[in-house]
């Protein structure tokens, strides 16, 4: 896929990995719908990026919200060729602790935002791409989802987060197979430890210690490195149905 001139949709596009992806796509000539539940951040980023970006409100857990955001993007750009799903939340709690059994509501919330929300973005952007005229190799579009190494190396207290991210990894190949006849590719990135707003809240010493545990390079990943891979997936038509770890060879310990 040639990124230049395409319409793209990035959920969670106003901060962290999503913001980096939005910026990378705009730098390569794409027009991007910054789909985010935080309207202030999305509007500020769109204003900074100018005519190449629009802000669209999007709570990925809401079918109506997500459909409206996708429709707004198609109306603004004429079509969508790429979607990148970056919206997500985390929660730390053991299955059983001194307080008793894991609360059900936080587990449901993480699954709803991370897994169901990602499926919402996947299915609705794919439906929009289905209307595109096919290009080289019959391609109509590409979708990049975001899992985590926690899908494979879930730590103590990560049961809800790991379940949600494992679900995304598990959707990848079936989605790619489902959409193959439509000319739409699907891949997933499973990041390791990245320097996102979530980790920015930690003390500097703690952040450095986390980065030192990565085999190489011994640091936290940069959001721009996630964005680089998302762009590469979009550009390489043979990448399809794959979940790619982006983690510096990190394998997470139990805790």
DSSP per-residue codes, 122-171: HHHHHHHHTTSPP-GGG--EEEEEE--THHHHPPTTBHHHHHHHHHHHHH
Examine residue 217 and say whether the peptide bond preceding it is cis (omega within 30 degrees of 0): yes
- The CATH number given to 7-194+224-246 is 3.40.50.720
The least confident of 52-56, 156-160, 199-203 is 199-203
How far apart (Å, rounded) are the C-alpha atoms in residues 74 and 8? 9
The least confident of 63-77, 101-115, 201-215 is 201-215
Bridge partners, residue 11, by sequence: 35, 85
Mean pLDDT of the chain: 95
pLDDT of residue 44: 98
Domain ranges of the chain: 7-194+224-246
Average pLDDT of span 27-56: 97
pLDDT in tens, 104-129: 999 999 999 999 999 999 999 999 99
Average pLDDT of span 1-12: 97
- Name the strand (E) or helix (H) holding 8: strand 7-11
Average pLDDT of span 59-71: 97
Average pLDDT of span 183-210: 86
Average pLDDT of span 156-179: 97
pLDDT of residue 201: 66
C-alpha count within 13 angstroms, C-beta hemisphere, residue 232: 10
How far apart (Å, rounded) are the C-alpha atoms in residues 105 and 128? 32
pLDDT of residue 132: 97
Catalytic residues, which ones? Answer: 161
- State percent of the chain over pLDDT 90: 90
């Amino acid at each position: 896929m040639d990124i230049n001139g395409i319409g793209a949709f990035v959920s969670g596009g106003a901060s962290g990995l999503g913001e980096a992806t939005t910026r990378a796509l705009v730098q390569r000539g794409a027009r991007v719908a910054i789909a985010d539940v935080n309207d202030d951040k999305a509007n500020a980023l769109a204003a900074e990026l100018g005519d190449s970006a629009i802000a669209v409100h999007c709570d990925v857990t809401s079918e109506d919200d997500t459909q409206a955001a996708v429709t707004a993007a198609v109306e603004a750009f004429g079509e969508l060729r790429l979607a990148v799903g970056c919206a997500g939340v985390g929660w730390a709690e053991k299955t059983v602790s001194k307080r008793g059994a894991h609360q059900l509501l936080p587990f449901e919330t993480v699954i709803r935002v991370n897994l169901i929300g990602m499926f919402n973005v996947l299915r609705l952007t794919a439906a929009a791409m289905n209307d595109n005229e096919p290009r080289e190799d019959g391609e109509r579009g590409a979708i990049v989802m975001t899992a985590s190494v926690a899908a494979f190396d879930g730590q103590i207290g990560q049961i809800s987060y790991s379940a949600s991210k494992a679900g995304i990894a598990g959707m990848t190949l079936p989605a790619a197979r489902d959409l193959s006849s439509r000319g739409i590719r699907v891949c997933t990135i499973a990041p390791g430890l990245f320097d996102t707003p979530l980790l920015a809240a930690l003390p500097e010493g703690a952040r450095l210690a986390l980065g030192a545990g990565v085999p190489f390079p011994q640091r936290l990943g940069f959001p721009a490195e996630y964005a680089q891979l998302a762009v590469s997936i979009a550009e390489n038509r043979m990448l399809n149905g794959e979940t790619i770890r982006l983690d510096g060879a990190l394998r997470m310990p139990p805790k």
